[in-house]
Structure 1
Amino acid sequence: MDVQVNSIVGRRSYRCDVLFRVIDIQEKDNEQIAILYGEDYRLIADAPFQDLVQINQEERSKITKEVESLEEQSYELFQQDIHLLREQLDYEATNGYSEDVSYFQVPGRVLHLDGDPVYLKKCLDLYEKIGISVYGVHCQEKEMPYRIGSLIEKYQPDILVVTGHDAYSKMKGKKADLNAYRHSKSFVKTVREARKKVPNLDQLVIFAGACQSHFESLIQAGANFASSPLRVNIHALDPVYIVAKICYTSFMNQVNVWDVLKNTLTGEKGLGGVETKGVLRIGMPYKPINDQ
């Protein structure tokens, strides 16, 4: 079988339930092993060549269309939420529509660290589509704890996303054992380092984790939102929807956890968090500068 780096494959042993991109090929005990990144889910895995099935373009297109349909549904629901949030801001800023005032919005700054450059680009495109200013940084998961301090100092974010790829392995231990996860330990260390810089959960809102990540450890380390309570896979774009909800909520209001999760593609099985304030600030009056 002509499996190469960047080939799209499925795993026979899992009935090809997830599409993977081959990112590396290694030799182990005289056997070729493919290192795999989920094509739509933030999952990392490895598999011997004999377990791989190459996915042809027709099959890939069919699955891609199904995923894109889910993404579009989630985006439309999010747009409805944003419309309601803007109506609420209008009502509050104009004292119940009784005053004719103009105002401006000061949105939060987002720093997004991603272990996958392809997913980072996909997330940055969605941030732009939604209208959120973001600094995107590609960084290998194991390097994140050592880079996060200087990145926070450089960008001074209001919201931090720490994500990439992860996976739980029964062979390495029980679900409670942090060592049984591919990158959860690195995510936890990164959150702890970030909290050394900004301890307050409302001054720096953190989302951390990827597929099957150790949710409890991430929350205990100081994340506001994390994956994955039931150790399920999360979609590549889920962190963006969580961040966007917080960005468009006033800092005077708390973000209801369920309101944040309901329009993600994964939902409460793969994502969870604690009560958190929004980061949007309203200013007035808005006086546009006219060119003379």
Structure 2
Amino acid sequence: MEQGELVVRKSYGGDITFRVEQVHKDFAVIKGTDFRLVADSPIEDLTNVTETTLKRRSQQAQIKMLKSVEAVEELRRRQKERHWSEFEHATISSHQTSYFEVPGKVLHLDGDPNYLQKSMALYQQLRVPAEGHFVLEGNMADFLHRVLPVSRPDVVVITGHDGVLKGLRRRDLYNLQTYKNSQNFVNAILVARQYERNRDLLTIVAGACQSHFEALLQAGANFASSPGRVMIHALDPVNVAAKSAYTSIRDTVKIGDISPHTVTGIDGIGGIETRGSYRIGMPNWKDLSKIHVTPSVI
């Protein structure tokens, strides 16, 4: 077994594809290729993924993500058409249609550099203004304390790796100590809420695989994983953030409209209804190189 190899766990029926991150004497640290999960496993429990299996799983994951992206874009298109129609009839005559869009800005903190790269690519595809940072989960609270006043986002995504710990004498799912990083996510949310207490002015999307959903919401998150303590897809938080960024400030982001279009559904991410952060303005920005201006100041 070598670092970088693609493997599955035999004891779990080979349900998730992992990449080997570290190899020790008799166990390896492995990271999900599509799901936000880091685990350790006995080397004897790991088996390499065949090219056929890898290709099939990659295609399945890609199909799911394409469907998810298409659904988010369709929701956004319908929302924008309705928003613009209402705005147009209320303020201007029908022949005036010059306007510009101001979607919400996303600040995305990720405990995994590879997932961060994939997330930023999806934000770009969805035309969501986003700023991304690779920050280890334990450092996220301090990082937000320094960066939030500078970045001034509308949406904050706090994600990375998490999971229910193995080897506990008593597995209490109500206890934050049962989870790998849920306490770190809670700490980061509390800092964000100290910066902005109003949940409609700062939307927080938090959590990763199997995170303590209830604790994240109680700390101040608007949307969080994982109600069913399931593995969430690496890009599910991005889909929620994108929906918030392109939902009108006059409308609420309803989790019931989001969950069917995430890869892991309502067991993966839940939350509370929250106002969107999308605005439109008019008239559209002009090409200043074509405007003739008579100077008026000496």
TM range (shorter): over 0.9
**Cα distance between partner residues in 1 of 2:115 and 2:287:** 39
Correspondences of 1:13-24 after superposition (within 5 Å): 13-24=11-22
Q: Deviations over 1:199-225 (max 9, x none)?
A: 111111000000100000000000000
Residue of 63, 69, 82 corresponding to 1:69: 63
In structure 1, the residue matched to 2:242 is: 244
SS in 2 for 1:105: strand
| Aligned residue type for 1:24 | Q
Report the counterpart of residue 89 of structure 2 in structure 1. 95
Indicate conservation of the 8 Å contact 1:227/1:272, yes or no.
yes
Name which one, 1 or 2, has greater alpha-carbon Rg. 2
The aligned counterpart of 2:296 is: none
* 1:208 aligned residue: 206
Partner of 1:225: 223
Using the size of structure 1 for normalisation, the TM-score is 0.94
1:145 matched to which residue of 2?
A: 141
Q: Which residue of 2 aligns with 1:279?
A: 277
Are 1:59 and 2:53 counterparts? yes
Corresponding position: 1:81 with 2:43: no
Q: SS at the partner of 2:56?
A: helix
Percent identical among aligned pairs is 40
> 1:7 & 1:120 partners in 2: Cα distance?
21
Q: CA deviation at 1:99?
A: 3.0
Alignment partners' CA distance in 1, 2:75 and 2:198: 27
Q: CA deviation at 1:155?
A: 0.9
1:104 to 2:100 alignment: yes
2:126 alignment counterpart: 130
CA distance in 2, matches of 1:256, 1:216: 18
Deviations 1:100-135 (Å, cap 9, x if unpaired)? Answer: 332211111110000111111111111101101111
The one-letter amino acid of 1:143's match is N
Q: Which moved more, 1:255-264 or 1:110-119?
A: 255-264
Q: Which residue of 2 aligns with 1:25?
A: 23
Structure 1 contact 40–235 (Cα < 8 Å) conserved: yes
- Which TM-score applies when normalising by structure 2? 0.92
| Off by >4 Å, runs of 4+ in structure 1 | none
- Quote the RMSD (CA, aligned, Å): 1.5
Which residue is equivalent to 1:41?
Answer: 35
* Structure 1 residue 35: Cα displacement: 1.3
Unaligned runs of 5+ in 1: none
Q: Distance in 2 between matches of 1:14 and 1:8?
A: 15
Greater Cα offset, 163-172 or 7-16: 163-172
Count, aligned residues: 286
Q: How does 1:172-183 map to 2 (within 5 A)?
A: 172=168, 173-183=171-181
- Distance in 2, Cα, partners of 1:25 & 1:223: 36
